[in-house]
Amino acid sequence: MPHGSVFTGYFSADIFKGESMADNRMKQKERPPSAEGNGLQKSLKLIFVYTVATGSIFTYVSYWDSVFFSYCGAGTFLAFALMTVAILPTALVYSEISPLFKTAGGELIYNTVGFNKHVGFLASWLIMAAWISVPPAVVMAVATFISKLFNLNLNFQTTVIIGVVFLLLIFIMSLQDVQFLVKAQAFCLFANIATTLITAALILTSGHWSIANLADMFSFSSKASTLGIPAWIIGMALLITPYFGFETVPQMVEEGDFPINNTKKAICGSVLTCGAIYTIFFFCVAGLAPVKDLLAGDDANGFMTITAMQNLLGWKFWPIVYGCISILLGMTASILGFWMSTVRMLYSMGKKNFLPEVFTKVNKHQQPILPNIFLLAISLTFILLQNAGSFMNDFFNLMSFGCACAYALTMISAVRIHHRHPEWYANNRNVVPGGDLFRVLAMVIMVCIAFFCTLGQGVGSWISFAVYLGIGVAIWLWMVLVRWRNSKVVIETLDGEVEF
């Protein structure tokens, strides 16, 4: 596949620069026997870690397009371009701190080392709010698309049943060898990227496209201006959701068979890839018709671009092809990415004594068993409890808020880690330009986005968030009152294992 060869070439050109394959294997042999024989195995090339992150990010184009346009109207493409710029400082800080720790855990590790184990638990639970929201939301999108594609007019209960079946299939896949998972995800991702870009080109050259439809880019938003902040800005802040996913890279480093400094290519590469495609695609869609026509009638409930191609352009064949690849394959790529990352975060919590040790048990394919079961149970619960009329927006907003909060906490921890352990950065090729000024800038951007996201939350989102936090508080209290009384949290750092 052409796209695969381009990306593979980019990531393979100097993948072992500064560290030979023999050196890398020697480090692998130095790992503790338990991690080597019974835990996660080092087998992932950088290209697949990149596809895990990119596939996680690039999923919302075909279903949530109506949500994006309801927030930012014809200026949605510009909002995506600005959000790419806003996200990059955070991605660069992640690129800086991820090489400091060689085990899965990401936010759990960074915020424990930066603050303490309580903040570490909170940050990991917040980022998992975003990750865990994806499987139930996406399988419902797939089920809804199937109903729309075949004009089945399925009721909510039947749609839920289809979603549950799809979740069970993902669960079975997630217990297979990681090489199978990442290769399946890579195929889904590149098929989705190619189809999306072809669709953008077809719309742009359809003869119906007009720059006049982009004239009032900031005049439309379903949000209300609050505290003097324009509705369009609040809507743009909520677009952080189509970008979260680059932080899945630190969850895969324990299995990465490449120099850990190269994680920057996967982290920043995923953001830039998706940001560029988002901007191009939604620029083309915005010129197809005035935003109120694009969101007219049932179009506002999802699949806006697919419906517009059918109703405004009169196309019959391509919308089905595009929908099937973008929805079925694109969303499968996203579910697999976030599912793998959530499982590895729960596994890491077990390894580092944030959860019982039973969370570290793996099957014959080195896939954690209980984390997979736990994630399946939560996803099924979310599906069964969600409201038929508002679940899409509630889940979307929940992802935005949880993700922004976790990013903001991690940026503060990055500043604290650098101040406490400047020696850790001596051989770090990914140190951000400007030092603390840059880290603080990233922190301020994330705090602002988190605040703007609170202005866009509805009652349903807060209820969903409260239920999720309640589960986390119960687990945290059990750890504080029972487990942590007798044992410490242990984090592997450049100074060795440290207790917290």
Q: What span, in angstroms and rounded, lies between the C-alpha atoms of 99 and 258?
A: 11
Q: What span, in angstroms and rounded, lies between the C-alpha atoms of 321 and 323?
A: 5
DSSP state of 325: I
Rounded to whole angstroms, what are the CA distances from 435 to 247, 419, 439, 441?
21, 11, 7, 10
Query: Which is nearest to 379 in space by CA: 468, 252, 461?
Result: 468
Q: What's the pLDDT tens digit per position in 54-103?
A: 999 998 788 889 989 999 999 999 999 999 999 999 999 999 999 999 99
Task: Please say whether the beta carbons of 323 and 316 come within 8 A.
Answer: no
Q: What span, in angstroms and rounded, lies between the C-alpha atoms of 107 and 121?
A: 9
Whether 16 shows a pLDDT value over 70: the answer reads no
Q: What is the 3-state secondary structure (H, E, C) of 20-34?
A: CHHHHHHHHHCCCHH
pLDDT at 38: 64
Beta bridge partners of 58: none
pTM of the model: 0.85
Q: What's the pLDDT tens digit per position in 187-221?
A: 999 999 999 999 999 999 999 999 999 988 998 88
pLDDT category at 29 given cuts 50, 70, 90 is very low
DSSP state of 182: H
Whether 139 shows a pLDDT value over 90: the answer reads no
Whether 2 shows a pLDDT value over 80: the answer reads no
CATH architecture group of domain 48-499? Up-down Bundle (1.20)
The one-letter amino acid code at 396 reads F
Q: What span, in angstroms and rounded, lies between the C-alpha atoms of 290 and 280?
A: 18
β strands within 132-250, DSSP E: none
Task: Please say whether the beta carbons of 293 and 51 come within 8 A.
Answer: no
Please state the domain extents for the chain: 48-499
Work out whether strand 490-493 and strand 496-499 pair parallel, antiparallel, or are unpaired: antiparallel
Helices of type H across 63-103: 65-72, 76-97
Count helices and strands in the chain by DSSP H and E runs: 21, 2
Q: What span, in angstroms and rounded, lies between the C-alpha atoms of 189 and 51?
A: 7
Q: What span, in angstroms and rounded, lies between the C-alpha atoms of 391 and 140?
A: 9
Whether 176 shows a pLDDT value over 90: the answer reads yes
pLDDT category at 32 given cuts 50, 70, 90 is very low
Q: Which residue has the higher pLDDT, 302 or 174?
A: 174
Percent of the chain with pLDDT over 70: 88
In this prediction, residues 296-316 reach a mean pLDDT of 84
Task: Please say whether the beta carbons of 466 and 473 come within 8 A.
Answer: no
DSSP letters of 457-489?
Answer: --HHHHHHHHHHHHHHHHHHHHHHHTGGGT---
Which range has the top average pLDDT, 95-104, 150-159, 448-457, 460-469? 95-104
Q: What span, in angstroms and rounded, lies between the C-alpha atoms of 214 and 73?
A: 9
DSSP state of 112: H
Phi, psi of 362 (to 5 degrees): -120, 160
101: left (phi over 0), alpha (psi -120 to 50) or beta: beta
Q: Which residue has the higher pLDDT, 457 or 7?
A: 457
pLDDT at 400: 75
